[in-house]
Amino acid sequence: MRPVHTFLAVLVALVWGVNFVVIEVGLDHFPPLLFSALRFLVAAVPAVFLVRRPRVALGWVLLVGLVLGVAKFGLVFLGMDLGMPAGLSSLVLQVQAVFTAVLAAVFLGERPGPVRYAGMAVALGGIGVAAYDQGATGPVLGFVLVVAAAAFWGLSNVLTRKAAPPDALSWMVWVSLVPPLPLFALSLLVEGPDAGMAALRGLDWTGVGAIVYVAWISTIFAFGVWGFLLRHYDASTVAPFSLLVPVFGMSSAALLLGERITPLSLVAAVLLVGGVALASLGGRAAGRGAAPVPDPVTVSAPGEDAPASGTAEPEREQGGGHPAPVPGA
């Protein structure tokens, strides 16, 4: 990987890690469902005029928009609003890799190999440690909602694998068109119109900055760069950088929000990140008989533009065209 592209991959992981801190800031200004709706509205509406619709059936866009945009992101924002720490949220969401593998085995007939099973067991051990730590120090419901969000993320990964969108950015932009209306409706029903109007009337530059960050920097910019990297390198080259997201998430939450990193949370981080790495990357290395975990964005599809670099195509062929994870919140 060229040094500039390595820098971009680390930058995307940093953007997605810090995104959890920005969500925490935004939740001080908006009710969670309204904030999530505004995130997708600001991200999708201007961008949809700049990118063409992905070459997939509209039904897949609608379905993934509901599962990923409404269920997954709605639950993350609700969980964090109920007291789930930003750093721990960035970590716990990584269990989506386990949910993805299980759902892929059920609905796609994929059979994980022994290395992947071992990685999933280690990752689940990390979730158990994190659950114990959170139960002793914070609200359990917030933790449960974030785990549920990871399950919906896993389902959206499997659905995205079936849809096979050829481009990460256009797929994310068009999927982002789906959640605003359902989330606005849920916000009116659950949070009430008074809470939403009060948030909009009290809007300040901090609130605007939070929306701009989660919509344009974390969504449009980061997904655009990630998709660029996937067009030039094999997924197994890009994927390991996603494991930096909880590292940046937990460290930025500690530095900027003063969140305490307990010894148990460090143990949970090592187990969960190590387990996900083993499940996602060890399975690829083992190769034979181990079906790849389907992750959110496909590497290539028939008719996709050729890469700019002459060495990129052999790299992509080497990886077999498997998807690479997109871990942003």
Residue with tokens 């390991």: 240
- Asked if residue 279 lies in contact with residue 293, where contact means CB atoms within 8 angstroms, the answer is yes
pLDDT digits 0-9 by tens, 14-28: 999 999 999 999 999
Taking the C-alpha atoms of residue 223 and residue 248, their distance in angstroms, rounded to an integer, is 17
CB atoms within 10 A of CB 302: 7
Q: Which two tokens stand for residue 71?
A: 């269920």
Count, residues in the chain: 329
Report whether pLDDT(297) > 50.
Answer: no
Residue with tokens 């599962």: 67
Provide the β-strand partners of residue 297: 324
324 in helix, strand or coil?
strand
Maximum average pLDDT range among 79-93, 159-173, 276-290: 79-93
- H helix and E strand count, the chain: 18, 0
Report whether pLDDT(283) > 60.
Answer: no
pLDDT digits 0-9 by tens, 248-275: 988 999 999 998 888 888 888 888 888 8
- Asked if residue 87 lies in contact with residue 14, where contact means CB atoms within 8 angstroms, the answer is no
Please spell the DSSP secondary structure of 82-107, one letter per residue.
TT--HHHHHHHGGGHHHHHHHHHHHH
Instruction: Give 329's pLDDT tier (boundaries 50, 70, 90).
Output: low
Mean pLDDT computed over 53-74: 93
**Residue ranges covered by each domain of the chain:** 3-319
Taking the C-alpha atoms of residue 122 and residue 299, their distance in angstroms, rounded to an integer, is 27
